[in-house]
Structure 1
Amino acid sequence: MTPKSCLFFAAGLGTRMAPLTATRPKPLIPVGSTTLLDHALDLGQQAGLARPVINLHYLGDQIEAHLAGRGVAFSDERDALRDTGGGLKKALPILGENPVFTMNTDAVWAGANPFRQLYAAWRDGMEGLLLLIPRDRAVGHLGTGDFLSDTTGRLTPGPGAVYTGAQIIRTDRLQSITAKVFSMWDLWRPMIDAGTLFGTLHGGQWCDVGRPESLPLANALMGGA
C-alpha cells in the first residue's frame, strides 16, 4: 500500500532557532520565497499526498491561521508536547491509514522529491523506510551520522548516513507503547531488532535548518533548486 497521509512535525519549541522563534513558530520562518512549513507541504502536494496533517504546540494559533483554507488537518498538542513518537500516536485517528509518511519541517530539499523516492523504495516486509543522506552532503548538519546500513539497506544505529527527517513507517507497534511522551527511536529500536527498519539515500540536496546560521545555506540551496 502506498501511503497518502503524512504527519508534518511542527510542534517543537524551536529553542535552537532563538531569537527568531521568540514571536513565531520555527515552521513559519521564511526560507527562499516561502516558509519552512510551506516548503514541506508543497513537496507533499507535488507527490500527490491527499491528507497532510500538522501537529501543533508552540504558537500553534499562528500555524492554524497561516494554513487557513489549505485543506490540511491539525493534531493539537497544545495541552502537552508529546515528542515525535507520541505525536505520531496522537495523530493516528486523523491520519487514518497504515503505513504513513512523516516529515520534519526544519529542513530544505532540492532535486529529487523525497516522498517520491520513498514511494519508489518501499517494499513488502518493511516496517520503516528512512530517507538518508551521506554525511558529506548533509548541509548545515553539525552532528555525526545516525545510521549504518548493510547491503540490503537494513539499518543499525551508528555514525554513517544522516536521517533527513522523512520516512514511511508502519504504526502497528505504537499500540504497545503506553507512554504519552516518547521519541521515534522507541518505535525504531524494535524494528531494528527485527531487521525491518530500512534506509534509502536521497538523490538530491538537503539542508538541516535547525539553527539561525543555517538559513543562508538553506536560501542558497533554494535558489539553486
Structure 2
Amino acid sequence: MPCIPDAVMLFAAGFGTRMGALTADRPKPMIEVAGRPLIDHALDQAAAIRPRQIVINLHYRPEMIRTHLADREKIAFSDESDAILETGGGLRAALPQLGPGPLYTLNSDAVWTGAPALSQLASRWDASRMDALLLLLPAEKATGYRGTGDFVMDEDGRIVRAKGAPSYAYLGAQILSPKHISAISETVFSLNRLWDIAIAEGRAFGVVHDGGWCDVGRPEGIAEAEALLGKARDV
C-alpha cells in the first residue's frame, strides 16, 4: 500500500460554543476528559503512527494550547488568529508545514477506544485507488452523535453521501489527498468540498472503526466519554 502518510493535521481552532460556560476561559481542546485535556487524547491517536510532523491550527485562546504543548516534539502551529478558515481552508493554510502528498486529518473533540484510529486508516490506505479514506461507525453506535448518518458504504468500502439509508457516522479521522485543493477559490471552506470531488470520481472510501468513539462537542459529552473510557478499562 504505497504512499503511507507521515503528517497529521489536527483541527483545534473552533470556538467550542456548544460547550457553553466551559469554554469561557479555555479553548475546547483544553477541556478535560478523564483528567486529561481533549487535545492529549487526540495526540495519543496521532502518536500511534509516529508521524514526521503534526500541525495544529489555532484561533481561540491559542496561548493555552501553545503553553500546554511547549515541551512536545514534532508539533507545529498554524495561526488562524485573524479568522477561522474552517477545515478546508485551515488545511490549505497548513500545507506548507505538512508537506506534499496524502496526510491524516484528525479532530480534537472526541475520545476513542479500541485499535488506534490512524493506524487502522494506514493499514487500509491505497493511494492508487483512493483520495479519501474516512474512519466510520454505524450511526447508532457512535456515542454522542446526533445525526442519522453521513455516508453509505458498498462491499468494496467505497462511500457516497447518505440519503436516508442505514448509514455511517464520520468520526473525524481520515487520510486525505489535498491534490484538488488548489481548484477551490474560496479562502474559507469545508473539507466536504474535497470529499464531494473524491466521491464523484469514485475515490472516496471508508473503514469501520474497531472500537468505540464519543463526540465531546457538548457538556454532556464529557460524562459520556468518561463512561466509554471507563468501560474500556474494565474489559
TM superposition score normalised by structure 2: 0.93
- Counterpart of 1:58? 60
Matched, 1:131 2:131: no
Q: Percent identity?
A: 49
- Counterpart of 1:28? 30
Correspondence 1:1-225 to 2 at 5 A: 1-71=3-73, 72-123=75-126, 124-158=128-162, 159=164, 160-225=167-232
Where does the alignment leave 5 or more consecutive residues of structure 2 unmatched?
Answer: none
Instruction: Deviation per CA, 1:7-32: give whole Å up to 9, x if none.
Output: 10000010111110111000000011
Does 119-128 or 162-171 show the bigger shift?
119-128
Task: In structure 2, give the amino acid aligned to 1:184.
Answer: L
Looking at structure 2, the residues matched to 162 and 208 of structure 1 have their Cα atoms a distance apart, in angstroms, of 11
**For the Cα contact (< 8 Å) 2:136–2:207, is it kept in 1?**
yes
Report SS of the residue matched to 1:103: strand
Looking at structure 2, the residues matched to 91 and 161 of structure 1 have their Cα atoms a distance apart, in angstroms, of 28
Report SS of the residue matched to 1:151: coil
TM superposition score normalised by structure 1: 0.97
**For the Cα contact (< 8 Å) 2:89–2:189, is it kept in 1?**
yes
Looking at structure 1, the residues matched to 123 and 12 of structure 2 have their Cα atoms a distance apart, in angstroms, of 26
Alpha-carbon deviation of 1:173? 0.2
Task: In structure 1, give the amino acid aligned to 2:41.
Answer: H
Looking at structure 2, the residues matched to 117 and 219 of structure 1 have their Cα atoms a distance apart, in angstroms, of 23
| TM superposition outliers: structure 1 runs of 4+ over 4 Å | none
Task: In structure 1, give the amino acid aligned to 2:32.
Answer: P
Alpha-carbon deviation of 1:97? 2.8
Looking at structure 2, the residues matched to 34 and 105 of structure 1 have their Cα atoms a distance apart, in angstroms, of 13
Instruction: Deviation per CA, 1:128-159: give whole Å up to 9, x if none.
Output: 00000111210111111100111111111115
**For the Cα contact (< 8 Å) 2:151–2:169, is it kept in 1?**
yes
Where does the alignment leave 5 or more consecutive residues of structure 1 unmatched?
Answer: none
**For the Cα contact (< 8 Å) 2:132–2:204, is it kept in 1?**
yes
Report SS of the residue matched to 1:98: coil
Looking at structure 2, the residues matched to 37 and 62 of structure 1 have their Cα atoms a distance apart, in angstroms, of 11
Alpha-carbon deviation of 1:201? 0.3
Report SS of the residue matched to 1:108: strand
Report SS of the residue matched to 1:172: coil
Instruction: Deviation per CA, 1:68-87: give whole Å up to 9, x if none.
Output: 12121001111111000000
Looking at structure 1, the residues matched to 50 and 230 of structure 2 have their Cα atoms a distance apart, in angstroms, of 24
